[in-house]
Amino acid sequence: MNVSKFIATAIFTLGAAITQAETLSLKTAEQAYYNGHAMALENMLAESAPNDQLVIRYRLGSLALGKQNNEAAKNIMQPLMLDLENEVKANPKNAEAWGLLSSVYGMMTFLEPSMAMTYGPKAGFAEASAADADKHNPMVLMLTGVNKFHTPEQWGGGKQTAFDYLTKAINAYQAAGETRTWGYADALAWRGMAASALGNTDQAKKDIEASIKLQPNYGLAQQALAGM
């Protein structure tokens, strides 16, 4: 028996199994998020891989913020911010963690306006670091697009910039296939809202309807469509 070949095959098989488990875990978490099931997300935390836990906690914070429960959102996002900061220090090439961190800084700016001068530059640095780590990562592109949607043009944001990033994200999601991805419905919904803000109603409706087709219970997309 070729021991080296056996070990290499075993390592590859284990790695593939872990990747598949992470993919399934995230798919389950995504369904819970889009259905608004915070308790289901909380129940998944203990059994999820570390990177998946970061995403699930981010989703929990997003749900709380979406329900205007700012105190609960802050209680989730503050420790998540610290854990993401530690993650990128330990693994500076973790593009997804950098992207999440940039988004969390943006949310913390909303939750703590007095800290805008602190969180703003940190968000920009994290966003740039995410792109440096993997500029083609669909989650990074999606999170950047959403950040740009909420950022004024004079600070590098704006609806057109958001639309362009979200278009890149959608293309990257489509190219990624069944690999470890999350947030495709977000990218479609937010591009639709950017298109609407730019006056492109046909594109907006097409994107938002595509988001709802993908995730029928996605509240943000439903609200966006109802408001058109």
**Is 39 or 14 the better-scoring residue by pLDDT?**
39
Q: What percent of the chain has pLDDT over 70?
A: 89
CA 14 – CA 196 distance, rounded (Å)? 46
The answer to whether 202 and 182 are in contact (CB under 8 A) is no
pLDDT confidence bin for 26, thresholds 50/70/90: confident
> In a 10 Å sphere around its CB, with 0-12 CB exposed, 13-18 middle and 19+ buried, how is residue 209 labelled?
middle
pLDDT at 25 over 80: no
CA distances 94 to 6, 14, 188, 196, Å, are: 29, 21, 24, 33
**Mean pLDDT, residues 114-131:** 96
CATH code: domain 136-228 is: 1.25.40.10
CB < 8 Å & 24+ apart, contacts of 176-181: 176/138, 178/23, 179/23, 180/19, 180/22, 180/23, 180/26, 181/26, 181/138, 181/139
CA 110 – CA 74 distance, rounded (Å)? 10
Q: Please provide residue 198's backbone torsions phi and psi, each rounded to the nearest 5 degrees.
A: -85, 0
pLDDT at 208 over 60: yes
What was the pLDDT predicted at 164? Answer: 99
Q: Where are the domains of the chain?
A: 136-228
The torsion defined by the Cα of 21, 22, 27 and 30, in degrees rounded to 10, comes to 150
